[in-house]
Amino acid sequence: MKFNTKAIHGGQILDPAYNSVMTPIYQTSTYAQSSPGKHKGYEYSRTHNPTRTNLENSIASLENGKYGLAFSSGLAAIDALLKTLNPGDEVISTNDLYGGSYRLFKKIFQKYDIKFHFVNMENIKNIEDKITKKTRLIWLETPTNPMMNIIDIKSLTKLKKNNKILLCVDNTFASPYLQRPLELGADIIIHSATKYIAGHSDVIIGAIVINNKSLYDRLSFIQNASGATPGPMDSFLTLRGIKTLHLRMQRHSENARKIANFLKRNPKIGKVYWPGFSDHTNHKIAKKQMKDFGGIVSFIPKKSNFKTAKKIAENLKLFTLAESLGGVESLCCHPASMTHASITPEDRKKSGLVDSLLRLSVGIEDAQDLIDDLAHAIG
């Protein structure tokens, strides 16, 4: 089954009650039992819910994975994964990552004696140098948020010297339409499905996709025991969004290409970060492991200061100044004060995230209207 068909039919079954074409919203907390412990597979909606089951199967299908798990947010999914680790374990992470992930690593799990190493993963040797007998997880985003760095997933699989090291890819920026890390050798995929998968800025939800049954059982236990599960309405909205994922990602990518080229030609813009440029550091890798280059473009004005970036952000009309990304509408974000504010200024600068950088989530509006909006805001 091809991806476009999977987006509509993958992992889905007709509802057994009335054969409804769309998955019903099972807005219930509990289920009747005919006898103690005897039920139809559902007993309490924190543990399982038919709407959520269809969502989990759908996302697994999109990633060509065996098992999917849905959570109440992307961070809840990451939290569940980190709970599989033990005190003394070590994690190697890209140094250019979402601020919420960094905060969870440093402020929550580090105090439980889990050690995190943050390195530039564009050079594999940086990762090799940090691997010890205690390394259990390699964590990466590609493209990274917000610097749009590309990490070679396939090459990192060579670093898994034994089964004790797992490779996890946050695939939020690419979506399974553009990139499927399990096919490249990754063990775990994380999604903030709030973004491109749901796609309409109206739901907070996360997901994990894996192939390993033992790991699935552990994560499924944590999902239920910790309770960070999405409700049936959120699951339904995400399922509805998935049905147009392929169409939306095509337009996001097309529009971002036009926006990136416009910004690159603009004399008032100093630097544009988009992996589709041939002079991007890892453009060839992006071209190899991605179907297209996605809908995110970051840039720095030529006058590289916060005042200039602030003025551009405030002058935008179609681009809304807001956190998040991946919705049908275009958004502009100032990462240093918004999504990445929890990272220290020193650590932000190390990864190139300066106070003048703006991140665009390019929506599916008419590209020329978006270009005109940017041209007006830049002046």
Q: Which residues are catalytic?
A: 46, 98, 170, 195
Distance of CA 166 to the CA centre of its chain: 18
Q: Tokens 């603009």 belong to which residue?
A: 266
Distance of CA 140 to the CA centre of its chain: 11
If residue 104 lies in a helix (H) or strand (E), which one and from where to where?
none
What backbone phi and psi angles, to 5 degrees, belong to 125?
A: -60, -30
Q: 165: which 2 tokens?
A: 């090291």
E strand intervals along 158-222: 166-170, 188-191, 206-210
Residue 44 per-residue DSSP state = B
* List of residues 6+ apart from 110 with CB closer than 8 A: 116
Determine the Cα–Cα distance for residues 32 and 40; give it in Å rounded to an integer: 9
* List of residues 6+ apart from 123 with CB closer than 8 A: none
- Residue 270: is it exposed, middle or buried by C-beta count within 10 angstroms (0-12/13-18/19+)? middle
Determine the Cα–Cα distance for residues 65 and 70; give it in Å rounded to an integer: 14
